[in-house]
Structure 1
Amino acid sequence: MGKLVEIAKIQSTEASNAIEGIVTTNIGIKQLVEEKTTPKNRDEEQIAGYRDVLNIIHESFDTIPITQSYILREESERL
């Protein structure tokens, strides 16, 4: 993964989860996004779920249908 993409994923994960009131340490977010650790609590599980969806978007953006039902289905599968 390119360094800029890696940084963007970490920042996006941190910001999006903070909006929801889900926080952890900067090191914790980085390790979760880079899959160097496993979630230890519900907040970290949420962060890992966001990471998984973000990875799907980055890997398959050209084939993902942009429909409300698809997005809601993906979100519900991660919770």
Structure 2
Amino acid sequence: MMRMMCAWGYRADVFIWGIIWSAIEIGLIIVAIYFIISSFRGTRSRSHKSDALEILKERYARGEISEEEYLERKKILEEK
């Protein structure tokens, strides 16, 4: 079977498929970077939540806030 040739010596679709695969590879790299960054942000936000809860517990233990205020703020933190 004869190969179809164009002005550059090869079929034009070879060039187009190269562009398509390059775009797919770049897209996969961007998606991977997004998931890596979002996973680090997710763990960081969880640690801030636990830090806030620890501070709240300490303030309640020292008597700086009442039991009602402690329970109200704890509920707010757990909802986030």
Fold shared by both chains (TM-score > 0.5): no
Whose radius of gyration is greater, 1 or 2? 2
Task: Decide which structure has greater helix share.
Answer: 2
Query: Which structure would you say has the larger RCO, counting Cα contacts within 8 Å and 6 or more residues apart?
Result: 1
TM-score, L = length of structure 2? 0.31
TM-score, L = length of structure 1? 0.32
